[in-house]
């Protein structure tokens, strides 16, 4: 790729990614008007191949700017435009659970496919739809995972830990993190009653006397992790830590997790957060170089 382009508040990650790719970086300057609209200013002439780096945490605020920037980049010379999104939002809703629901994953995927030649992301929440190729039809879709990076970190910090997925959908990441690292793993069963109201049942595996690390792709409200932590401690776990790829932790989520008895929280830098301990930028760089 000839250039890594990012919004002005993501300059450091853009520079690091560009250095890993052996190319240059540039920023998109933003001016926000009092009515909430944004004026964007890109470099006036862009090379043929451009990576646009943009995570989609806080997606409703970011999507309009992302799509405007993509359209502007095309006008300014980008013939091949690749989105590198460390966190890709709106991936959970992959079917309509009740009549009339909008399947956000399908429609966001089509929207991105209309603006980008390829989309590279980390641990998208794919369940019934298995690949990023399906999400962005007709384009290059690449799904990377931070699970192995976090698994290696956990193996160093808590040798012999039991990795516990807080719900069935976490099984794919738990298996990856545990593989070849001497870590046992199991998955809980979750019953959701609302956005902030969940029950978690522990698996058959005994947690008594074990160092438990709860492992998931994303932490949002923290209620699922908190419920699983309380259950593990009540069942006799010696300690409970948390590792997630995407540390969203909205509102009081982090406090909820620690109040439930969690000792440490570890995450990747797919979303910038104080808990970041491993970087996904080398994964992104390798995938982008392969696309090039």
Q: Which residues carry out catalysis?
A: 190
Extract the tokens encoding 75.
């006008």
CA–CA dist 230, 164 (Å, integer): 13
Give the residue from 195, 176, 292 showing the smallest Cα distance to 245: 176
Q: What is the CA angle 131-111-39, rounded to 5?
A: 130
């Amino acid at each position: 790729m000839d250039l890594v382009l990012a919004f002005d508040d993501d300059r450091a990650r853009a520079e690091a990614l560009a250095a890993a790719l052996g190319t240059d970086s540039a920023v998109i300057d933003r001016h926000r008007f009092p009515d909430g609209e944004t004026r964007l200013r890109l470099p006036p002439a862009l090379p043929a191949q451009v990576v646009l780096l943009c995570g989609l945490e806080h997606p409703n605020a970011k999507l309009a700017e992302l799509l405007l920037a993509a359209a502007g980049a095309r006008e300014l010379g980008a013939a091949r435009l690749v989105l590198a999104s460390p966190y890709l939002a709106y991936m959970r809703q992959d079917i309509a659970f009740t009549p009339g629901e909008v399947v956000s994953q399908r429609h966001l995927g089509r929207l991105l496919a209309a603006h980008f030649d390829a989309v590279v992301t980390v641990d998208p929440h794919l369940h019934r739809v298995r690949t990023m190729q399906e999400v962005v039809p007709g384009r290059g879709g690449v799904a990377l995972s931070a699970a192995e990076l976090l698994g290696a970190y956990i193996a160093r910090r808590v040798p012999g830990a039991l990795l516990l997925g807080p719900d069935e959908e976490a099984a794919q990441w738990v298996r990856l993190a545990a593989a070849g690292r001497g870590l046992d793993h199991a998955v809980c069963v979750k019953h959701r009653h609302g956005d902030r109201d969940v029950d978690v049942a522990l698996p058959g595996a005994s947690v008594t006397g074990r160092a438990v690390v709860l492992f998931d792709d994303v932490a949002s409200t923290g209620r699922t992790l908190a419920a699983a932590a309380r259950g593990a401690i009540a069942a006799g776990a010696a300690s409970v830590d948390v590792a997630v790829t995407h540390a969203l932790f909205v509102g009081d989520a982090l406090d909820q997790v620690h109040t439930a008895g969690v000792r440490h929280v570890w995450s990747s830098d797919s979303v910038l957060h104080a808990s970041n301990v491993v970087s996904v930028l080398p994964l992104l760089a390798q995938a982008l170089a392969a696309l090039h």
